[in-house]
Structures are given as C-alpha cells and as structure tokens.
Structure 1
Amino acid sequence: MNVLDDLLAWYETLTPDTLDAVPRFYDDHARFKDPFNEVHGHAGIRRIFAHMFETTESPRFVIHERIVQGDQAFVTWTFHFGLRGQAYTVVGGSHLRFGADGRVTEHRDYWDAAEELFQKLPVIGPAVRWLRGRFAVSH
C-alpha cells in the first residue's frame, strides 16, 4: 500500500514545518483519537501535532510493524521525546482506515498511558506504580 508507505514516511520525518501536509494524508472530516484527544478534521489533527512540538523536546516516531487488510492498516511504533531534559519513550499502535482517495478517514492510537507515561514521571510515577501493583495478579 503505497499510500501507507508515504504516510508512515511522513510520520518518521514529522517536523513543525511538515504539519501543513495534514490535508495530503487525512480526509477533510478525518477522526483522530488517542488516550488524551479526540478531534475531527485537518485543523484538529494539526493542532494535536503542533501541541506535541510545543510541549515535548525532539519528538519523533519510529515505525515498526504494519498489517494491511483492505482499506485499513494497523501499525506499531515507538514515540521518542524529551520532557524537561529527561528522555522518554512510548510504545503503541495505530489503527488506520482509508477512504477511496487513499487519505485517512479514521486514526485511533492505542497505548497505555499509565505504563508508558504516567508511571515514568517523577511526581506521580510512584503512585501509579503502586496502583498498578495493587491491581496486578500475584505470581
């Protein structure tokens, strides 16, 4: 799926200067959802990525596996970024649906905010780790 290759190459080289390409890859009414956001349309999608560049240091995506079936794909990735000088990674996946013109109509990110982000943060991390331990099945 060449459309998917182009989209993933864009993600791996995403910069504030390349955000104007959102309409090339996303349908006018595309839906984007992740653990923190749910938006529709180019302006909302662009705003999420602009916010990412404003609030994190050197954000970048590394794409791993991809599975394509008909008009949809599932892609695994690692998101690398800095926050106040500390390096972080988030491992996740994205379910993508494509319209007839090849642009994304639906983009849903799946990742565990507690494991991948909250428990790594210095202030709330210990509490999140304690909670996760309380709900875990004993071995």
Structure 2
Amino acid sequence: MTVINRFSSFYTDLASMQISELSHIYSDDVLFIDPIAEHRGINAVEKYFDKLLHNAKHCRFDIHTKENTEDDKFIVTWTMEFTSSRMKNGNPIRVDGLSHLQVADNKITFHRDYYDLGQMIYENVPILGRIVKKIKRGLA
C-alpha cells in the first residue's frame, strides 16, 4: 500500500485511529503545517493530534481527489466533518480543504493543510459566528 493510500485510509475516521499509526505515515522529521500551527518531527505531530482528538467527539475526512503533481508531490482535496462539545452545540461542522504532501521513502516528509479557519472555528462560536457571518454577507 502506498503512503498516499495509507494517508487516505487513516484520515477516513480520525476519532477511531491510534496516535501510534502516525509513525507509519509520517517520517521522523516531518514538517506539518496547518492554519492553526506548525509542528516539526513525528513526536510534535503526535502530541498535536492527541490534543486535537481529545476535544473532538467525531472527526472524519471524505477524500475527494489525490493528484500526483510530481514524482514525490501530491495534492489531496477533502471535506472534514467533526463535532466538538465546545462548538455549535455539538452539531457537525463541515470544512473543505486540501493537503499538499511531499513523500520520500514511502513516508510523508512535508504536509501542509489549506482550509478556511473561519469556516472551521470563527463562524461556529456563538457571538463571534454571527459577527463573522454578517461581515462576510456585507463583503459579498
């Protein structure tokens, strides 16, 4: 199984995954970047996922496309669905995004996620959400 297939399988249901599985996908010196933070090394990535999943009741990704842009580079598009007791009264939140991945020796060495943090967080916080949505409507 290729690392991209392992990646896709792993992210299908994050809430049921084991943190130890990350080392089968990511290299020891991986650089993982998303709109929230930057993490260097597998240990930092494992700690980050442990914290994220501790607060999520449910988290899964629908993988839409996996495009090989060069020999060792991939673009993966996805929709994430998660629930958190801290946001939107525990109702599901859906966020569209993409991951830029670089691979060496069948492990991911670079992972950068692109998604709208407003769609994920700001719009789902009770008072702030109303303000952000009003601003977006005004800009449209």
TM range (shorter): 0.7 to 0.9
Distance 1:24 1:51, change over 3 A: same
CA distance in 1, matches of 2:116, 2:22: 25
User: Within the alignment, does 1:9 sit opposite 2:9 as a pair?
Assistant: yes
Give the letter for the 2:133 counterpart.
R
Segment of structure 1 superposing worse, 82-91 or 67-76: 82-91
Counting matched residue pairs gives: 135
SS in 2 for 1:132: helix
Contact 2:58–2:84 (CA under 8 A) maintained in structure 1:
no
The residue type equivalent to 1:19 in the other structure is I
Return 5+ residue gaps in structure 2 as ranges. none
Kindly state the Cα deviation for residue 83 of structure 1 after the two structures are TM-superposed: 2.0
**Given the alignment, which residue of 97, 100, 106 partners 1:95?**
100
Partner residue in 1 for 2:64: 64
1:119 equivalent to 2:120? Answer no
What root-mean-square deviation, in Å, do the aligned CA atoms of Structure 1 and Structure 2 show?
Answer: 1.8
Counterpart residue type for residue 76 of structure 2: V
Deviating above 2 A after TM superposition, structure 1's stretches of 4 or more consecutive aligned residues are: 13-17, 130-134
2:46 equivalent in structure 1: 46
Greater CA drift, 109-118 or 90-99: 109-118
- Give the aligned residue type for 2:121: L
Alignment deviations for residues 68-101 of structure 1 (CA, whole Å, 9 cap, x no partner): 12101010111111122222111111000011x1
TM-score when scaled to structure 2? Answer: 0.86
- Give the alignment's TM-score, normalised by structure 1: 0.87
Equivalent AA in structure 1 for residue 101 of structure 2: L
Cross-structure match for 2:28: 28
What is residue 81 of structure 2 aligned with on the other side? 80
